[in-house]
Structure 1
Amino acid sequence: MKKVALVLAIVSVFIMLVSVAEAAIELPLRVEVNGERVYFPDEQPFIDSNGRTQVPARFIAEKLGANVTWDGKEKKAVFEKGSKKLVLYIGKAEYELNGEQKKMDTAALLISGRTFVPARYVAEAFDAKVSWDPDIRTVYINTNSKPSGKKEGTEIVAGFEVPLDTNLLAVETTWGGKTEACFEINLLRADVEGQIEDLRQILLQKCDSSTVDEVIAYVSQKKEREYYLPSKYIYDNKSKRYIWIKESFMEDINVFYCSASYKRSEE
């Protein structure tokens, strides 16, 4: 019995050590623009103390098709593309977009002589859409999205009719081979209530109203970016599909419309 107990104790310790080692492995931070990974030859992107992804200014500018210049005297990075001009100041939350004063929840940084800028604010300044997948530590930037502003008409995304003037991000996706569409509500994007209402109207195209009400009630709990929203699956009898609300740690709430072949492992 003592030998058995000793063996079990050794096995338990071994499993614990393996688990700790696996937990210590952290995936590298990735940035993708239009589905293509951005490689940084020297200084690498990182997540700052405000939870924002900071990237070297020159590389993000190049991928967005913008020109960036550095003003050492005023310690500011100036991005220009077409008629748009973005000015970020080192260490300051205040910035300028086309001469208009704005404020973000982080700041550009100067590290080892290299200017780092928050990827989301730079990308969205030039009408790109940004999403974040914490599970694989990847920032997705889409420059093919429609510019902000009132747009008439709709587009079809994974069989859903989506208004062009929505601030809700809607993309067709086969994430993990189990989804058809993803709708992202972002608390830092304009008109959050409008995003939620657009999500309601879009889901009603294929789902039962009671299912949609449950989805909307669940996502509406998150009113601040620090609020943790656990993952939730809601089955819809009308479409025979699951609506998967992915757990949300930050400002984005991702709602997936699952494929017909998808079934939860516990069923």
Structure 2
Amino acid sequence: MRYIHTIKPLGNRRLLAGSCMLILLPLFFLCFTQTARAGKDPNILFNGCQVLFQGEKPYIDQNNCTQVPADFAADYLGAVISQDTSQKTISITKGDTGIILWTEEKKALVNGREVSPDSGAVNRNGTVMVPLRLVCETLGSGVEWVAETKTIRVTLDNGYILPESTCLSIIAPPPGNPDKIGLSILLFLDRDLDKQYDDIHFIMTGIFDTIQADEIVKHIGQKKTPKDNLPYRKWVRDDRAVTAGSEPGDSSISIIIWETGG
């Protein structure tokens, strides 16, 4: 069975100003050159699950850089996006890190520092496309090119211990978000439940002891069909809390990790 994430249309997202200076290594601007060819659509996995793009699809440009819709940074990396059509720029911000890209120019600013990426942003049929590796690695996510399958693997890197491959939906809001959410996780009833239970247990053992992780998995395991009600429960340890539950009619279970601050 193939599992997919779907990119949603870009909504109204507010740009947050960043102030922390980030020094980038040249590696951040290396593109996918191993067996990649311009014009061939790459396959992109996020935390092990295939991403299905609606509208414009990712592509490898003439510089062998993978370009993706800017929505990807918002929907999967927890970034905030703002577009200035008059200046032909797009701003991507997560926490204290801000990226400004110019469309149709090889020009970018990272926290006010000018950098020279191999490819800049591109306006493709009305959709702003951005260089995948530059955006992901600048915002703290891992990027790997798998030559054997011609696949790009993007791994969320936000301080949590995550499984290498999962079919959970995992979203990390920007650090310091007002709701104090560390991770927002969805478990889907129509996917491999045993695998998802194992992945939830793996994530929770990075926060709690094994007994509490067992309790969380046992609780979410009570919901087997969308019609079942799963009352929300809360577990707390040190500066983090976890809530899990699902309303009748929902085909997924929400698990949220909160940064309580102690």
Question: Is the TM-score greater than 0.5?
Answer: no
TM-score normalized by the length of structure 1:
0.43
Q: Could you say which structure has the greater relative contact order, defined with CA pairs below 8 angstroms and 6 or more residues apart?
A: 2
TM-score normalized by the length of structure 2:
0.44
More helix by proportion, 1 or 2?
1
When Rg is computed on C-alpha atoms for both structures, the one with the higher figure is 1
